Amino acid sequence: MDDFGVFAVFGVNGPAQRLLSGDGSSRVAVAVPPSVRQVVLFSSGPWGERICVNAELNDADRMPITIGKITPYNKCLSWEQWEEETWTGSVILNVTLERGTLSLAGHCAPLTARELNGKRKREHATEGDGDENKPTKRGEEENVCPNGGAAERATPVRKGRVQNKGGQKLFSSGGDATKAKGTGEGSQPPLVSPSGRWGQSLCAIDAQTAILIGGQGARMQFCKDPMWKLCTEDKSWVAAETLAEGPTPEARIGHTAIYDPDSRRIFVFGGSKNRKWFNDVHILDTQSWKWTMVEAQGKVPPLAYHSCSMFRGELFVLGGVFPCPNPEPDGCSDSLYIFDPNLSIWYQPIVTGDMPSPRSGHSACVMQERKIYVFGGWDTPVCYNDMYMLDLGKPHTRDWHGSAVLSDTKFLVHGGYNGNNALSDTFIFDIDTNSWTEVTLPQLAVPRAGHSIVTMEMAEHPRFSGEDEDVDKNTGPVSRTLLVFGGGDNEGNFYSDLTTVAVEELRDLC
């Protein structure tokens, strides 16, 4: 007996109702009770060769209100009436089960022309007004495609055969590309490239691969094909959402996705969906192809259309638009927030100089491995073309490090512990320019914390004329020297070495 089933719960106190069973029909439509404001759809039992379950909430005119799916990796969906302005008293839940063998080129429930045109534009006019062109508040305009009327045109479905190319693999190498699943009678051929959209993120992970996440298409409908892999070798696309395990990010626009080459992970932060705003962090491990959602400490507001830069393994989030309680319009941020993935915490750094004014929709680029350049953006009704530079040439967060004065205007910081590892880096701070300079010292290449650093006036070693002669009292010129002693690597090793570095050598490095 096949124990697989698809169930729905209507309302907070409603019982679970079986909609589909493993050996029954693959399609069902059920009316949502008028008093219900929440719907939960979930699966139970082994999936076997089943690929996914498509779900639509349609209004009385059979126009999609919202679309989603459950998969072997994401087995639950939920909708709330206050998130969907077109949800009325007459709502139909349509559920369709897709069977077949999951493959790398397979795609669950390809978009049809009706679905691409289906979701009606949200009406911001007052009830009974009927004027879809009535201006909206600025906060609502943040979620509207900048192309205006272009978003109203249907995005054509791309047609053509599914290409069986090597580029359609995910992160494996070698061998033949996996073929697309069979379409079956009456079904549409899978899309061979993403549907038209805006507000998405495209994240490069190596010279041949980029990952597309999220976006919104025609008639403000969130894309039903939200995740793709692009192979730049032959410019081929692979639908990738159903291949990732773990809780995938909810559909959204205005989010950021950035890749960390050291950990080989993609970090997705923020964004918005209709009137819902996000401040969550989702991580996609490109080695295991698995999603995880971070339970972070610290405070960061829900943000969309912000910028996010990766610097030394941390996320630097600047600006963006955030929701304000009614009747105030949504506002723009001028704050900088940093996320530390190692500690799963958000914090705000102390910055100096002139900061950018509040804005959203700007860009940010990391240059010379230490500077973030911020350009443009807007904060209604002003659109900017100004440029700001944030100098990040400062040491990592640390404790148990050593420091010493080099001159009247400069001091040195070396080593310490960052919460995970002992450090071996060295920085010099110039109080005249309020800037850090990182220097490389081969003598101090061993990571250490809890060590001691001092500077001393030291003379050269005495010179000996011979065994039977008296010691020459001439000790030569006196030079200022940095002395580093002891410490440990926080792994159980403790040092008793003494290292010396000429201060003049350090000055030459900066």
Q: Comparing 107 with 417, which gets the higher pLDDT?
A: 417
Q: 209: Cβ–Cβ under 8 A, 6 or more apart, which residues?
A: 171, 229, 230, 231, 232
Of 201-205, 245-249, 336-340, 394-398, the poorest mean pLDDT is in 394-398
Residue type, 415: G
pLDDT at 467 over 80: no
Q: Give phi and psi for 347, each to the nearest 5.
A: -150, 160
What pLDDT sits at residue 318? 97
Top mean-pLDDT range of 137-146, 216-225, 341-350: 341-350
Largest CA distance in the chain: 112
User: How distant is the alpha carbon of residue 367 from its chain centre?
Assistant: 20
Residues 61, 117: Cα–Cα separation, whole Å: 13
Task: Write down the pLDDT at residue 269.
Answer: 97
3-state secondary structure of 41: strand
Span 78-106, average pLDDT = 68
Tokens describing residue 505: 């050598």
> How many residues appear in the chain?
510
Q: Which range, of 2-6, 192-196, 219-223, 464-468, averages the lowest pLDDT?
A: 464-468
Average pLDDT along the chain = 78
Tokens of 172: 């494996």
pLDDT at 416: 94
* Tokens, residue 506: 């350090």
State how far the Cα of 169 lies from the Cα of 442, in Å rounded to an integer: 43
Domain positions in the chain are: 1-100, 402-509
22-26: Cβ within 8 A, 24+ apart? 22/48, 26/96, 26/97, 26/98, 26/99
Task: Give 53's pLDDT tier (boundaries 50, 70, 90).
Answer: confident
Position with higher pLDDT, 260 vs 490:
260
Residue 241 has phi, psi (to 5 degrees) of -65, -45
pLDDT in tens, 285-309: 999 999 999 989 999 999 999 999 9
Contacts of residue 102, defined as CB under 8 A and 6 or more positions apart, other chains included, come to 49, 51, 72, 181, 242, 243
The CATH code for residues 1-100 is 2.60.120.1150
**Contact predicate 394/464, CB 8 Å:** no
Better-predicted residue by pLDDT, 193 or 90: 193
pLDDT in tens, 304-357: 999 999 998 999 999 999 988 766 778 899 999 999 999 999 999 888 888 999
Structure tokens at 278: 């996000």
